[in-house]
C-alpha cells in the first residue's frame, strides 16, 4: 500500500437460489482468491448469501436461519484474512427483515448497512419482503456483543488513513439523493455497492455512466459488485456486471454474463489530492449522525498491476485523440480570435522556424483568421535565418507559409547578431549561452518591431513543456503578445500537427507537415554539422515524453518524486533504464524550480487542458522556492538510480 495504492476487488460468485451453504462456500473460495492476489477490500453482490431472487422464500424461517448460520461460518473463515469484505444477506431485526451489506474484517463483524431505497415497481417488489433501512445507526446484538446497524457508518482504516469506506446497496445509487453523497461529504473516500441489477437491452451503458458519474461527482473510488449467473431466470437475467471506478475513470470492468472477480489498484492519494485542490469539495466532520468504525490492515507493498499511460496528455484511443485535437485547435484559435477582435487587430506576426511549435502556432493563427473572416495574407510569417539554420527547416518554413496563404518575409539576423557581439565584446567563436540567447532575443526584437510597423500582434510559439523546464530565452522566444501554445505540452504538439496534416486535404501541405514532424526538436542556435541540425534539445534536457509525464503528475496531482519515479518505471519499462529515468527526473525538478521566474511573467494564452503553468491561473508558485525537500527524496533512492 506504498504511495497510496491499494488493491481492491469486486466479485460475483456462482450462486444457487435459496442455498446459503453453497453460496457461502463459493464466497469463501473467492475471498481466498482475493487474499492470494493481494486484495485488501472486496465486495460481493446484494443478498449473495441467499441469492437475490428468492421471492417469498425470504419469509421462510428456514432460509433466514440458514443464511445467518452460514454467514457466521463465513465471518469465522476470515480470521486469518487481512481484508475488509462486504457481503449481502437478509437480516431480521425487531420483527422486520432488512436487506443489508455486512462489513467483515479478520473474523469480526464491524457493522451492518441496510438498504434505504427499496424498489417496488416492474419486476422488483422488495417492499413485499423488506423494510427500508434507517440512516442513523443503532446497535444490534450479535454473538454476545453489539454492532452498529444503519446506513450512516464509515469504516476507517487506522493504518491507511486515506481509506474510509461507506456502503450503499443497488437501488440506493439510482435514486435522486443517493446515500453515497452524504457518505462522501462525511469523509468516505471509497463507496462500495452490493448490487443485483438485472440485464435489459442497453441498461449496462446507463449503469456504466451512472457509476462513473457518481464516482467523478464525489471524487471517490467506487466498487460495484453485481449479481450474476445462478440467480433465478424466472423473469430476469443477471449479468454479473462489476465495476471498479476511480474519480470517474473505470479501472476495471467485468465481462458481462460471466461470473468471476475483477481487481484494480486504486490510488487513494490521487483521490485525497484531488479533493484537496477542489475548494468546492467540502468534507465535513461526520458528527453524531455517523458511526466511525476503526479497523486495521497490514501495510504491505504490492507489485502494481495498474495500467499507467506513458503519455497522459494524449488520448490513447485514435477516435478520441482526433476529437480532442480538433477541440484543442479550436480553443487555441478562439483565444487568439478574441484577442484580435478586442484589440481591433487585423494583422498578426508569427516567427516561423520550420519546427513543431512555430508550425502549430501558424496553423492556429490561420484558423483564427478564418473565424474572423480575415484574409490569411494578413498573417506575416517571418523566417529569420542565422548561424544554426538548416536548409531543411528553412524550406519547410517557406513552404508552410506559402501553402497556408500567409505573407512570407525573410529577415536574416546573422549580421545584426554579429554587430551585437562586437558591441558587447563577445567572441563569436565562444558558443556559450550568450551566443545562443543573443539570437533568440534578436528574433523577438524583429518580430515586435514588425508588429509595430503593421499594427499587428506577435503570436507566441513556445509550448508548456519548454516553459516547465525553462527552456526558453528570457525576453526572447519567451515573450509575445499572445501565446497560443502556452498550455500545450510537447507530446501533444506533435499530435496536433499530425492531425492537421491528416485532415487538411492538401497533399503538398501534408507532406511538409510530415517532414516537420520528422525533424529533430532544436532551437537551431549552433552551426549545423554537414548541413544537419547539430543541437538537439532532447539530448540536452532529456526526452520530452519523460518530462511531460513528470509534469503531469507534479502539477495535476502533486505526487511526491519517489511515487512519480515508481510510476515512470512502469510506464516506460523496456524503453528507458531506471537510472536514465531518475537522471531526467532530477533534471526536471532542478529546472522546474530554478526557472519559475520565467513563468511568473508569461504573456496571456488559452488554457486547453487540466494542467497549465499560467501565473494567473493554475500555477501560483514563488520564483525563489527551494527544491531541497524534493531533491532529498530523490537522493534517498538507490545509489545506482541517482543522478550522480
Residue recorded with cell 503531469: 552
Contact status, residue 537 vs residue 523, Cβ threshold 8 Å? yes
Give me the catalytic one of 35, 40, 46, 105: 46
Is 115 designated active site? yes
What is the SS3 assignment for 488-514? CCHHHHHHHHHHHHHHCCCHHHHHHHH
Cα within 13 Å of Cα(431), Cβ side: 9
Is 281 designated active site? no
Contact status, residue 13 vs residue 259, Cβ threshold 8 Å? yes
Which cell is 435 given? 551566443
Distance CA 297, CA 509 (A): 60
Distance CA 509, CA 513 (A): 6
In which region does residue 188 sit, left (phi positive, over 0), alpha (psi from -120 to 50) or beta (all else)? beta
Give me the catalytic one of 105, 170, 582, 586: 170
DSSP state of 609: S
Distance CA 283, CA 281 (A): 7
Which cell is 363 given? 496553423
DSSP state of 289: G
Give me the catalytic one of 54, 70, 105, 115: 115
Question: Residue 537, class by beta-carbon neighbours within 10 Å (0-12 exposed, 13-18 middle, 19+ buried)?
Answer: buried
For the beta carbon of residue 255, count every other beta carbon within 10 angstroms: 12
Name the 3-class secondary structure at 155.
strand
Which cell is 175 given? 435514486
**Residues facing residue 92 across a β-bridge:** 97
Is 170 designated active site? yes
Which cell is 110 given? 464491524
* 350, containing H or E segment: strand 348-351
DSSP-assigned states of every residue in 359-409: HHHHHHHHHHHHHHT--GGGEEEEE---TT--HHHHHHHHHHHHHHT-EEE
Q: Which of 372, 366, 367, 368 is nearest to 336 (CA)?
A: 368
Which residue numbers are catalytic? 46, 115, 170
Amino acid at each position: 500500500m506504498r504511495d497510496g495504492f491499494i488493491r481492491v476487488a469486486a466479485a460475483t460468485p456462482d450462486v444457487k437460489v435459496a442455498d446459503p451453504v453453497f453460496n457461502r462456500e463459493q464466497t469463501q473460495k473467492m475471498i481466498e482468491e482475493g487474499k492470494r492476489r493481494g486484495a485488501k477490500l472486496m465486495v460481493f453482490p446484494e443478498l449473495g448469501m441467499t441469492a437475490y431472487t428468492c421471492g417469498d422464500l425470504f419469509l421462510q424461517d428456514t432460509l433466514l436461519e440458514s443464511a445467518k448460520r452460514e454467514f457466521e461460518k463465513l465471518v469465522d473463515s476470515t480470521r486469518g484474512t487481512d481484508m475488509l469484505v462486504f457481503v449481502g444477506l437478509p437480516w431480521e431485526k425487531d420483527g422486520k427483515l432488512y436487506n443489508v451489506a455486512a462489513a467483515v474484517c479478520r473474523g469480526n463483524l464491524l457493522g451492518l448497512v441496510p438498504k434505504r431505497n427499496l424498489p417496488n415497481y416492474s419486476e422488483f417488489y422488495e417492499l413485499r419482503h423488506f423494510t427500508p433501512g434507517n440512516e442513523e445507526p443503532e446497535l444490534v446484538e450479535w454473538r454476545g456483543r453489539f454492532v452498529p446497524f444503519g446506513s450512516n457508518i464509515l469504516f476507517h482504516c487506522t493504518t491507511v488513513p486515506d481509506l474510509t469506506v461507506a456502503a450503499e446497496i443497488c437501488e440506493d445509487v439510482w435514486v435522486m439523493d443517493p446515500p453515497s453523497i452524504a457518505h462522501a461529504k462525511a469523509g468516505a473516500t471509497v463507496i462500495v455497492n452490493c448490487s443485483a441489477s438485472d440485464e435489459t437491452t442497453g441498461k449496462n451503458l446507463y449503469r456504466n455512466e451512472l457509476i462513473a458519474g457518481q464516482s467523478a461527482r464525489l471524487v471517490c473510488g467506487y466498487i460495484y459488485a453485481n449479481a450474476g449467473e445462478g440467480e433465478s431466470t424466472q423473469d430476469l437475467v443477471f449479468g454479473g456486471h462489476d465495476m471498479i471506478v476511480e474519480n470517474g475513470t473505470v479501472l476495471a470492468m467485468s465481462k458481462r454474463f460471466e461470473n468471476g472477480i475483477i481487481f484494480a489498484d486504486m490510488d487513494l492519494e490521487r483521490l485525497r489530492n484531488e479533493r484537496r485542490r477542489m475548494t468546492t469539495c467540502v468534507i465535513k466532520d461526520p458528527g453524531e449522525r455517523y458511526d466511525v468504525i476503526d479497523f486495521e490492515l497490514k501495510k504491505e507493498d504490492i507489485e502494481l498491476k495498474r495500467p499507467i499511460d506513458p503519455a497522459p496528455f494524449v488520448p490513447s484511443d485514435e477516435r478520441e485523440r482526433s476529437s480532442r485535437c480538433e477541440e484543442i485547435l479550436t480553443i487555441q484559435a478562439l483565444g487568439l480570435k478574441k484577442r484580435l477582435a478586442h484589440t481591433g487587430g487585423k494583422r498578426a506576426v508569427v516567427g516561423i522556424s520550420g519546427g513543431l511549435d512555430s508550425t502549430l502556432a501558424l496553423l492556429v493563427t490561420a484558423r483564427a483568421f478564418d473565424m474572423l473572416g480575415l484574409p490569411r495574407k494578413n498573417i506575416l510569417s517571418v523566417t529569420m535565418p542565422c548561424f544554426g539554420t538548416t536548409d531543411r527547416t528553412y524550406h519547410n518554413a517557406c513552404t508552410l507559409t506559402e501553402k497556408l496563404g500567409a505573407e512570407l518575409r525573410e529577415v536574416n539576423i546573422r549580421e545584426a547578431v554579429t554587430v551585437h557581439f562586437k558591441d558587447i565584446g563577445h567572441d563569436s567563436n565562444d558558443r556559450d549561452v550568450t551566443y545562443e540567447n543573443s539570437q533568440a532575443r534578436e528574433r523577438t526584437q524583429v518580430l515586435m518591431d514588425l508588429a509595430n510597423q503593421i499594427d499587428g500582434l506577435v503570436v507566441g510559439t513556445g509550448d508548456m513543456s519548454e516553459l516547465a523546464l525553462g527552456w526558453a530565452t528570457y525576453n526572447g522566444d519567451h515573450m509575445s503578445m499572445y501565446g497560443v501554445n502556452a498550455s500545450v505540452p510537447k507530446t501533444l504538439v506533435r499530435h496536433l500537427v499530425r492531425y492537421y496534416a491528416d485532415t487538411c486535404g492538401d497533399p503538398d501541405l501534408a507532406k511538409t507537415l510530415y517532414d516537420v514532424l520528422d525533424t529533430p526538436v532544436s532551437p537551431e542556435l549552433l552551426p549545423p554539422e554537414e548541413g544537419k541540425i547539430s543541437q538537439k534539445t532532447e539530448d540536452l534536457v532529456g526526452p520530452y515524453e519523460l518530462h511531460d509525464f513528470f509534469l503531469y503528475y507534479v502539477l495535476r496531482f502533486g505526487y511526491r518524486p519517489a511515487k512519480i519515479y515508481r510510476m515512470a518505471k512502469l510506464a516506460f519499462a523496456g524503453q528507458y533504464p531506471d537510472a536514465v529515468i531518475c537522471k531526467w527526473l532530477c533534471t526536471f525538478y532542478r529546472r522546474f524550480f530554478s526557472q519559475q521566474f520565467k513563468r511568473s511573467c508569461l504573456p496571456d494564452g488559452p488554457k486547453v487542458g487540466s494542467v497549465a503553468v499560467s501565473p494567473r491561473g493554475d500555477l501560483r508558485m514563488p520564483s525563489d522556492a527551494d527544491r531541497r525537500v524534493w531533491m532529498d527524496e530523490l537522493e534517498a533512492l538507490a545509489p545506482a538510480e541517482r543522478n550522480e
